């Protein structure tokens, strides 16, 4: 059995997954808002958060694609764990809005631990894209 290795092409694979999620969300929003499909409205009572998730996934598609082509163009060597963090963060970050579309009270806790957990959820995206862009700046300005 061949093992799967992480490489920069994972950025495009993750972008494709994020695009498919975003397209599905767009159709669900359309069916809720325009076709008035009641069972979907019950599943996703906070349509505005579903729209936020849709837009956030689309932004991740753009960021992942741009990062991939910049890495290719500049022939950057990005560690596999950074690629993995970037991909994980790109899919996980918008997922919070999807959860809030299903249950609007998620993430509304005022406890310190809840606030810390929400902030920590941004780390994979920040570290991944941040590392890649620091490498871009280093290559272009260094």
Give the CA radius of gyration of the chain.
Answer: 17
Q: Over the stretch 103-130, which tens digit does the pLDDT of each residue have?
A: 998 877 777 777 787 778 889 999 999 9
How far, in Å, CA of 55 to CA of 49, rounded? Answer: 10
Q: Does the pLDDT at position 1 exceed 60?
A: no
Q: Domain spans of the chain?
A: 9-141
How far, in Å, CA of 16 to CA of 61, rounded? Answer: 7
Q: Over the stretch 26-73, which tens digit does the pLDDT of each residue have?
A: 999 999 999 999 999 999 999 999 999 999 999 999 999 999 999 999
Cα-based angle 4, 66, 118 (whole degrees, multiple of 5): 75
How far, in Å, CA of 72 to CA of 24, rounded? Answer: 30
How far, in Å, CA of 95 to CA of 135, rounded? Answer: 27
Quick one: pLDDT at residue 113?
75
Between 142 and 133, residue with greater pLDDT = 133
Q: Does the pLDDT at position 23 exceed 70?
A: yes
């Amino acid at each position: 059995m061949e093992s799967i290795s992480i490489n920069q092409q994972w950025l495009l694979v993750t972008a494709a997954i994020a695009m498919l999620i975003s397209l599905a969300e767009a159709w669900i929003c359309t069916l809720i808002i325009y076709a008035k499909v009641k069972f979907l409205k019950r599943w996703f009572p906070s349509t505005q958060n579903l729209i936020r998730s849709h837009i956030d996934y689309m932004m991740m598609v753009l960021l992942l694609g741009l990062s991939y082509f910049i890495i290719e163009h500049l022939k950057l060597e990005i560690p596999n764990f950074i690629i993995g963090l970037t991909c994980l963060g790109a899919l996980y970050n918008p997922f919070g809005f999807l959860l809030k579309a299903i249950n609007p009270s998620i993430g509304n806790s005022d406890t310190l631990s809840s606030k810390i957990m929400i902030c920590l959820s941004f780390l994979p995206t920040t570290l991944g894209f941040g590392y890649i862009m620091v490498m871009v700046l280093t290559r272009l300005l260094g």
